[in-house]
Structure 1
Amino acid sequence: MKTILITGGSGLIGRKLSRLLVEKGYKVIWLSRERYVKADIPRYRWDYRRNEIEKEAVELADIIVHLAGSNIGEDSWTRQKKQDIVESRVQTAQLLLDTIKSMDKRPEAFISASAIGYYGLKITNNLYSEEDPSTENDFLSRTCRKWENAALRFQEELNIRTVVLRTGFVISKNSDAFRKMVLPTRFGLGAPIGSGRQYLTWIHIDDLCRMYLKAIEDVDMKGVYNAVSPEFISNADFMHTLANVMKRPFFMPHVPSFLMRLIMGEAAGMILGGSRISSRKIQDAGYEFQYDTSEKAMKASLKAIKERENKKRKRN
């Protein structure tokens, strides 16, 4: 039974992935702010700001999945927030690298999250693949380059098989961003954001976690993969599809770009921009999607939300 060490295990993806791995027979441990080794998923302490880590956790790991990082969609991008976003991804990877260098044992693989923000926040008709360079100079593009460079050092310096998964918008019953779309739509207030022409590149959380599982198990996987659905859909069509699935009207005017920038500041670019991102490479690697259309993904997540709400009402 292999041991998988997850950083950022308490986040949206980390929790779901941990459950999947346990179901598949793996032992899962987390690096966390607090030590709690008697928990169902043992937690070992680390603090990248102080360069502190419980080395035991890394020594136990057969494979490391690096999901740690300050929530990009939470709070305005102040100077301090930007610093936290970058350091919580890059310095954590550096701490792991330095720790492994001090050990005799090497993990079999290092698997890191990244984001499709790598390709930039413009609205274009381009179809981006993993071979396309990051040429934009916006904050998210720069962050993704630093993030991935930190991850790929495990391959370059230690010859550890390294996989980087560039993730799009995650559809899940537990996603705050998805719930923020569901709430106004439920009241007939769903609307396209900005021009609505920008592509919304998404992935259902079940597919995303199964991609991480494949990256863990498939020794031929190496390098960067776009962890996105094969569907190309604009923001306007995505919101229209959500309204149709929820059987709600869809006639509200677009939410103006200036209003989103007023509310979110620079971070609004994540919502107002977007191009098509190819999933061909991971499909060619043998991955088969469970949710290949946003309609399927929405229906599954909305059903899960409804079931949870019904359970909550029964308890009360």
Structure 2
Amino acid sequence: MKTSFIFSEVLTGLRRNLSMIISVILVTFVSLLFIGAAILLQMQIGGMKDYWYDRVQVAVFLCPPDAETPTCPDGEATQEQKDAIEAALGSPDLDDYVEEVHFEDKATAHRLFEEQFEGTSLEGTVPEDQMQESFRIQLADPEQYGIISEYFSATPGVEEVVDQNRLLDQLFRILNIATAAAVGIAGIMTLCAVLLIATTIRLSAFTRRRETGIMRLVGASNLFIQLPFILEGILAAALGSVLAGAVLGVGVHFGVSGWLQSRMAGVNLVTVGDVALVTPILLVVGVVMAGASSWLTLRRYMKV
């Protein structure tokens, strides 16, 4: 088998069907771009879960001055009620569940509020004496939130118990929906890519049916005849895969590592290094998709 002849046939096919090859590159690029985005999004979700679930806390909010809940009959929580709650958190009953506890007074809550909303219309709108005090609890097992909630749900001086994990679960649910949407779009575009590759290979084989017939008459094997067509599809898909990886890298570099990272300091976001890990996967997917589609098309339609 002469390698130079095969590559000359590949170049001939690329020249004859240039517009179709460009279409294959573009549709492969779009489909693998969505696949790559879905993979990176799942990597980000996993990283954020590892980061946040180790840091989120259960907040036992004490009764504020204007409280109206049944556990706050006298309005703001008294010092005796605070001492009772603190003692309960340190009791043997909760010792296996509570890892760390710290009290957030009004001054601290007000400072954190001002820092969070600095430069917005909410800055300076809530006076310090109206802030809500709370006990911030780090659990040994974040999934044991229900025990803390049940324990303090009817405790005098406690207005509510809030698990930050539940807020994160809503965020991760939205991100998972976005991932599913990306996968769905990627599936549709991949199907389009497969059909377009098959059509391109059929067209290429049809335009060179005379050459393939002559090759068959002189004793060329099916593999020798079909390989140039298969390589055409693989080359186009490989270019689309590399292009998808490059665009993902540029997007992550400027959009995530550049713009988003500066606004989410301390959070580990996906990096160009993660894109470098994903790109070979996209390349393999593109090559396998193109190779399989081309081979099946030739087996069915190319009678040599």
What is the TM-score of this pair, normalised by structure 1? 0.21
Q: Structure with the greater relative contact order (CA < 8 A, sep ≥ 6): 1 or 2?
A: 2
Pick the structure with greater CA Rg. Answer: 2
What is the TM-score of this pair, normalised by structure 2? 0.22
